[in-house]
Structure 1
């Protein structure tokens, strides 16, 4: 990762540089995810909210004027948590807390997108992206993510070393992130990185 400053990354993103966008995503997604979990106590919904925020960021990159990414992104998280809690009539004390800022939050993130994949669609996309990889690499990755086996269990089943399993999973993960389209990349990356892929 190049560790570029946010304004430099944003300038590149506005020039349609998807690698700069991926770098910005990697820089912020986990902090945003943890913030959402703090409010919602729901990892799956928190992932969806973070995914939607970054989709909107990419889709509106030519229109948005952002002077502070931390301020924009964390405001977007809080606003979307507020909308979710309010629509689900959950945790009224949190709705009240977040709602006190709604007049400030609304104009900033009023167009957050909804772009969610079902589990079957995500599996289909994963399998399509994995096709160019060697058969053993695909097999190990699917055992890890789809069947939720541990590295030790995979090594025992396939009679290979645990290090080989780890290397093959890393290879598949890197390949997925490098080949996926922006929208697929965001959702796949969130799920892979959070460790709850296929648990939803």
Structure 2
């Protein structure tokens, strides 16, 4: 049995290409910290940095048979940087979409006074929510998009998106109770 922990890079790559999971595990253990550092330094969000590193390793495993790598550490660093850039680009597109949606939700002259007030309250409430929660709520509840479509836009599972909606609805109920209680006093 081969002790992969003492293997050099080129040997690990050869074993990786032949599909040996232990070689992949050694590569993962050797390089995940520096890759995480690169991703976290750019993003400043731990969860996003972890997701990016996992994605890079997933891609490495998927493409292992066809890769020609001279320097694994440089290759993984470059993959991580490009994954970060793609993530930043996606986030910018999501924010732009959210701004478009928020503009479309603003009250118009066709709304009566009560509807305008309700939309103003909703806009004020949703502006305080975390971004992903706000996007799911606006798309699914106010624009009637299917939860699967919204989840796909955000790059999360439908179950996670449903969790976001449940959390927002619970926050709204809690806020409503506080307002009702304060009116009674």
- TM-score where L is the length of structure 1: 0.44
**Greater Rg by CA:** 2
Higher relative contact order (CA 8 A, sep 6+): 1
- TM-score where L is the length of structure 2: 0.47
Q: Which one has the bigger helix percentage?
A: 2
